Chains A and B, each alone.
Chain A
Amino acid sequence: MIGLVIVSHSAKLAEGVRELAVQMAGDEVGISQAGGLPDDAQALGTDAFKILSAIEEVWCEDGVLLLMDVGSSVMSAEIALEMLPEQQRRKCLLSNAPLVEGAIVAALHAGLGEPLQTVNAVAEAALSTPKLANTG
């Protein structure tokens, strides 16, 4: 069963998205979050070392999917991956999925025991799932 990492500029947002995802996944899926800056929980920003710890927290051999918000989240997540040993790095995947919808869908499918690539594919598909009936 894969693990999930929620990355956001805001610690509150990361915690909130994690809360939603946990509710979908049940207790079996490891979901960690890395939000905000290390010294100041109120300050907005992303930190590669925080992301690295979050990956280690939910690490498992099946892999870890990282879901990010905007801007430097992606760059910080890339740096975190580069800091991992090669055998761990190749089992980590940065998702292009929207953070909230992606995390919910990913948690659900991770809970079903689906492999990393499949979970990422359904999470990314959330980008094109309409929210409003009349836009479909």
Chain B
Amino acid sequence: MGQEITTSQLRKWLLAYAARIIENEAHLTKLDTAIGDADHGVNMRRGMSKLKERLKEEKQSEDVSSFLRSVAMTLISGIGGAAGPLYGTFFLRAATSPTNGSSIDLVQLTQMFRYGLDGLQQRGKAQADDKTMIDTMQPAVEAMEAALAAHQSPAVILAAARQAAHLGMKHTIEIEARKGRASYLGPHSIGHQDPGATSAYFLFETAAEVFTKTGAG
């Protein structure tokens, strides 16, 4: 894999993610009002404002692992609500994935998402079709792995992840919640898109935008 993603590109990605979440605060609130406790928009906006501040600080490590770890610490404390420990764990585990020091290649980027997803699953105990973030992340990571195995170009790999994430997010509309606050609603949760699956989708959407723009395609 030729393309290297540096820590500064990872920073650009997460700045784009933070901006996308902040733009979508009202949308996330609306989704969470339908099937949850209406706090996902506010919580994510709070976390993302903290993340933006942190990412704009001047003195920052160029080491990928320390960078991801500091993102995790910011989100654990910054988001509040169940999304804090979940996104925090995603990045904590992502920080333990293999790197080249101050950059990662596409294989390592895929591994980073895989480590994060596995951590998330361990922490939240959710499975596919429980109507959670996992329904976005699992198909996205699997699509990346499949595209990578098929020797696709970076642009194709990232587009595959984004598309699978999008389908996964939309799939949450059709299914009944079995985890989180929405599970108290049982069958009434059907017909509503999961807010966590939605905020998780933006990770892949912004990754495809930022990494495709800055690298070879």
Q: Which residues of A contact B (CB under 8 A)?
A: 37-38, 43-49, 71-72, 75-76, 78-79, 82
Contact = CB atoms under 8 A, between A and B. Distances in A.
Interface string B68-80: 0000000011001
Interface in B35-78: 39, 43, 76-77
B84 interface: yes
Interface residues of B, number: 17
Contacts of A45: 43, 80-81, 84
B88 interface: yes
Interface of B: 39, 43, 76-77, 80-82, 84-86, 88-89, 92, 123-124, 180-181
Given A46-B84, A49-B77, A75-B123, 12 more contacts: A45-B80, A45-B81, A46-B85, A47-B76, A71-B180, A72-B84, A75-B82, A76-B85, A78-B85, A78-B123, A79-B123, A82-B92
Nearest to A38: B77
Given A71-B181, A75-B124, A48 B88 contact: yes
Contacts of A71: 82, 180-181
A72 B85 contact: yes
A76 to B, nearest CB: 5
Contacts of A49: 76-77
9 contacts: A43-B80, A45-B81, A46-B85, A47-B77, A48-B77, A71-B82, A71-B180, A75-B82, A75-B86
A113 to B, nearest CB: 33
